[in-house]
Structure 1
Amino acid sequence: MIKKGIRRQIVLHYFIVVFSALLLAEVIFLLAIRTYYYDSIYSHIKNHIDNVEDYYYQRINPGLDGNRDLASMLTYYDLNSANVQILDTQGNVLINSSEFQPDMSVKTADISQALSGNVGRWVGRQASTGENVMAVSKLEQSSGQDGYIVRYVTSLETVNDKLFNLTMLATGVGAAVLAIVLVFSMGLANSIVQPLNTITAVSAEMARGKFNQRIKGDYKYELGELASTLNYMAQEIVRSNQVKDDFISSISHELRTPLTSIKGWSETINSGGYDPEETRIGMEIITKETERLIGLVEEILDFSKLQQNEMKIAIGRVDIKELLQEIMLNLWTKAESRQIELRLKSEDRPLVAGDANRLKQVFLNLVDNAIKFSHEHSAIDLVVYFEGDNVVTEVRDTGIGISEDHLVKVRDRFFQVDPLNGGTGLGLAISQQLVELHKGILLIQSTLGEGTTIVVSLPRLPENTAQTDGAPELPPADEKLS
């Protein structure tokens, strides 16, 4: 007995379908053969009656006179392998070609059919002998006579024996076909179940945290896709875990450095001496490192909110040109320290509907990254232009660029192109999601060694809205965009 499972279901379904089809086909076949044999016997007797009628009544046309004429009629109607009877219209046997003479009148269906003018037919078991027979009867009328019923009775035992043999042969063929189907269905079931068992076993190992396990085997179709998907999932989990470990290591370093500075200067100040200049420098460093810690924590909190769809943005009218000018002022000192020139080229009044603080966070991160990865004595271009119903902003640098391998991962959370430069690896991931919250698109184009261009496309406010003095009709503040 096959235990419950997919294998059993496949075998059972195939078996039931083929068995039902075979049973229906064999029943139809055997009924057709039986009908063919019985109709052949009936047609043979009926044709014999028609031929005798043509000869006996049209050419001889005797006047029946007692038993001598009945005997003559019986002789003409005689047929090999069939018993011929001459009956009156009451069903009484007047003369019989066999030695056996029935004592009672015949009341079978063929008699009533013959009396109604048809060639009657009846198949059944003969009461006196218990034998399966077919009776064919027809009413024959002579001029001036009441008429007689000519009845043929032939045994069906030989035909039934042949039909039984055909039935047994068909049953044997059906059993052989079912056996072959059973073998093939079990093979098919095994070809599906065995890979599934392998996949299940490896998946169980993955569930226990063994993500180095892989599903081996060249599986086809859906099973192959399932195996590839699970292998890819394990690979991505391993990569995510590695990225997470790198992030923990990086963030630990990022937190430790400012905390060490804060602790060192705090101890220095507390140690006494109170040199005004030294104290001032120490307090500035403590303030700077504290702000750096706050920035790191806020970046992590922002990412957490975005991941949980809890980030809310206050919608208003934002002039991208003014926003970029403010960012250039904020980053001017950092760019000047590396002799990097910030250049802005913009259309007039590039207005979008958005959260000014969040959009400033996006572009501040993009320009800061451009400065961080640009060569000294280079330039960064900020270009703003209209494209259809969108305001497009490009941040172009001629820095180190990004390789093709890193380009597909650079927007992943915690990923850092150069871990030595510091940071959490969340800035670009957060920028991507903030742009999407504003119904915009962020694209990255880069060539290693030649520079990077980041394109941000945001929906532009309608022209009539942009030219009005009042506020545009925008969603209410703090509404979360999705």
Structure 2
Amino acid sequence: MIKKGITRQIVLHYFFVVFLALLLVEFVFMLAVQRYYYESIYNTISTHISNSKDFFEPISRANNAEDGNNLSRLLENLKLSNTELQILDLNGRVLASSTAFESDRAVLQTSDISQALNGAMGRWVGREPSTGEQIMAVSHKFDLGGDHTYVIRYMTALTMVNSKLLVMGLLASAVGVAVLAIVLIISIGMANSIVRPINNITAVSAQMARGRLDVRVKGNYKHELGELASTLNFMAHEIVRSNQIKDDFISSISHELRTPLTSIKGWSETLDSGGYDPEETRIGMSIISKETERLIGLVEEMLDFSKLQQNQMKLVKGTVSIREIVQETMLNVWAKAEQKQIHLKLDADETYPYNVFGDGNRLKQVFLNIVDNAIKFSHENSWIYLSVKEENGQIIAAIQDTGIGISEEHLIKVRDRFFQVNHQNGGTGLGLAITQELVELHEGTITMQSELGSGTTVTITVPALMEDTNDNGAETQSSDGSIPN
């Protein structure tokens, strides 16, 4: 007995479909064979009747014999082997029979007789009342001239034919049972070939669920099972990678939190001990303030990411000028850029508003993060180019640096949460992940192009606020020249 499960379902489905198909085929086959045999018998008798009629009727009309001579001569000349010949009057009464039955038997009223009286070749299949045997009767009307018109009726037993049909039916049933047995064996094999990989995948997934993320689905499976195995393996790989990124994040954030806390604790203890001049006190308080701001920035970054992940980030939207936001961003990072002697250059039409419908503070956060990264990874005495333009109902802002760039391997992962190309640079690895989420909340897109050693270009595209655009057609031109290609 096959245990419950997919194997049993597949086997039963195959078996049921084949069983119905065989049942239908055998029914049609037996019906066709029976029809063939019955038609053969009918055609033999009807051909004999037609030939006899064409030959005997003209002779009988010429001789114009007496009724008794006609009957005996009909019986003699029209007899057919393995059949009983009856001669009936037009009322259906038997006048003579090749088996010498009495002529005063009851009137016959079978359908073949009524068809014969109408001039057709009548046929009837049924049971003989006296014997209960199944027979076929074929009747036709003979006109011998004058008042000598009779119905010639042949009857033949179908017992032998039905016996052959029964044997053929039993043989066909045996073949059907054999076919079903073969189908059962094949369907079990096919079901196992499908279920075995599923069981293997299930076992591996159960191990993964228990924390064994090093296991993989092995085997070259095809079609949907192959896709399922590949997806499961990819999922395990991504979970391992995500866990590794989380571990790296915890290590990095622990370091990031410990460093400012150590500075704050050290200077606070130093200042608490007293005995320092005002300048040293000012320096200490400045360091405590900066490190506190740094801690606040780290915490706010993690809180922002948590809100985004839980869809709790609320945007206060209104009409915002992207050009003004970019200009404010440049002012905010100007001091940091000056420390590395990095030059910032904006390319935007001063008369064009570049308005969008969005949250100004969050959009500024987006540009601050990208420009800050550009400064962090740029060489000293280099340039960072910023441009804003409107194209096909979209505001397109680009930030291009000539810094260290990002390798192709890291470029596809750089926007993943917690991912950091270089952990020694500090940070949480959430900046670009948050930036992408904020841009998407504004129904925009962010793309990155980079080449290791040549720099990076980040492009932000958001829908323009069409009601506030003008049609002056002014071309984008910066005060100190255009961005070189």
On whether the aligned pair clears a TM of 0.5, the verdict is: yes
* Residue aligning to 2:483: none
* Residue aligning to 1:184: 186
Q: Structure 1 residues 323-332 or 18-27, which shifts more?
A: 323-332
Q: Structure 1 residues 166-175 or 125-134, which shifts more?
A: 125-134
Contact 1:90–1:105 (CA under 8 A) maintained in structure 2: no
* Fraction of identical pairs, as percent: 62
Kindly provide the CA deviation profile for residues 283-327 of structure 1, in whole angstroms up to 9, marking residues without a partner as x.
Answer: 111111111111111111111111122212222333333323322
Q: TM-score, normalised by structure 2?
A: 0.91
Match of residue 405, structure 1, among 406, 409, 421: 409
Contact 1:350–1:460 (CA under 8 A) maintained in structure 2: no
Cα distance, 1:368 vs. partner? 0.9
What is the rounded CA distance, in whole Å, between the counterparts of 1:269 and 1:399 in structure 2? 40
In angstroms, what is the RMSD of aligned CA positions?
2.1
Contact 2:353–2:469 (CA under 8 A) maintained in structure 1: no
* Residue aligning to 1:9: 9
Cα distance, 1:56 vs. partner? 1.6
Q: How does 1:111-260 map to 2 (within 5 A)?
A: 111-145=113-147, 147-260=149-262
Q: How does 1:349-388 map to 2 (within 5 A)?
A: 349-353=352-356, 354-388=358-392
What is the rounded CA distance, in whole Å, between the counterparts of 2:103 and 2:263 in structure 1? 130
Contact 1:114–1:149 (CA under 8 A) maintained in structure 2: yes
Q: Which amino acid aligns with 2:383?
A: A
Cα distance, 1:64 vs. partner? 4.4
Q: Which amino acid aligns with 1:284?
A: S
Cα distance, 1:281 vs. partner? 1.7
Q: Which amino acid aligns with 1:241?
A: N
SS at match of 1:331: helix
Contact 2:60–2:145 (CA under 8 A) maintained in structure 1: no
* Residue aligning to 1:305: 307
Runs ≥4 in structure 1, deviation > 6 angstroms?
A: none
Kindly provide the CA deviation profile for residues 239-282 of structure 1, in whole angstroms up to 9, marking residues without a partner as x.
Answer: 11111111111111111111111111111122232532222222
* Residue aligning to 1:473: none
Q: Structure 1 residues 358-367 or 140-149, which shifts more?
A: 140-149
* Residue aligning to 1:37: 37
Q: Which amino acid aligns with 1:429?
A: A
Contact 2:355–2:468 (CA under 8 A) maintained in structure 1: no
Q: Structure 1 residues 107-116 or 232-241, which shifts more?
A: 107-116
Q: Which amino acid aligns with 1:439?
A: E
What is the rounded CA distance, in whole Å, between the counterparts of 1:261 and 1:276 in structure 2? 19
What is the rounded CA distance, in whole Å, between the counterparts of 1:380 and 1:311 in structure 2? 31
* Residue aligning to 1:447: 451
Kindly provide the CA deviation profile for residues 403-440 of structure 1, in whole angstroms up to 9, marking residues without a partner as x.
Answer: 01100000001111111010001111111111122222
Contact 1:351–1:466 (CA under 8 A) maintained in structure 2: no
Q: Which amino acid aligns with 1:352?
A: N
What is the rounded CA distance, in whole Å, between the counterparts of 1:106 and 1:181 in structure 2? 56
Kindly provide the CA deviation profile for residues 346-392 of structure 1, in whole angstroms up to 9, marking residues without a partner as x.
Answer: 22234222222111111111111111111122222222233332222
SS at match of 1:212: coil
Q: Could you say if the C-alpha distance between residues 344 and 92 of structure 1 is closer, same or farther in structure 2, counting changes exceeding 3 Å?
A: closer
Q: Which amino acid aligns with 1:252?
A: S
Contact 2:315–2:359 (CA under 8 A) maintained in structure 1: yes
* Residue aligning to 1:289: 291
What is the rounded CA distance, in whole Å, between the counterparts of 2:327 and 2:469 in structure 1? 23
Q: TM-score, normalised by structure 1?
A: 0.91
Cα distance, 1:463 vs. partner? 6.8
What is the rounded CA distance, in whole Å, between the counterparts of 2:470 and 2:365 in structure 1? 23
SS at match of 2:329: helix
Q: Which amino acid aligns with 1:77?
A: L
* Residue aligning to 1:23: 23
What is the rounded CA distance, in whole Å, between the counterparts of 1:23 and 1:428 in structure 2? 67
SS at match of 2:385: strand
Cα distance, 1:106 vs. partner? 5.0
SS at match of 1:143: coil
SS at match of 2:443: coil
Q: Which amino acid aligns with 1:17?
A: V
Q: Could you say if the C-alpha distance between residues 49 and 288 of structure 1 is closer, same or farther in structure 2, counting changes exceeding 3 Å?
A: same
* Residue aligning to 2:88: 87
Gaps of 5+ in 1: 469-482
Kindly provide the CA deviation profile for residues 331-353 of structure 1, in whole angstroms up to 9, marking residues without a partner as x.
Answer: 22222222222222222234222
Match of residue 266, structure 1, among 265, 268, 274: 268
What is the rounded CA distance, in whole Å, between the counterparts of 1:113 and 1:321 in structure 2? 103
What is the rounded CA distance, in whole Å, between the counterparts of 1:466 and 1:255 in structure 2? 49
Contact 1:347–1:386 (CA under 8 A) maintained in structure 2: no
Cα distance, 1:9 vs. partner? 1.5
Cα distance, 1:464 vs. partner? 4.8
Contact 1:108–1:122 (CA under 8 A) maintained in structure 2: no
Q: Structure 1 residues 80-89 or 258-267, which shifts more?
A: 80-89
Q: Which amino acid aligns with 2:162?
A: N
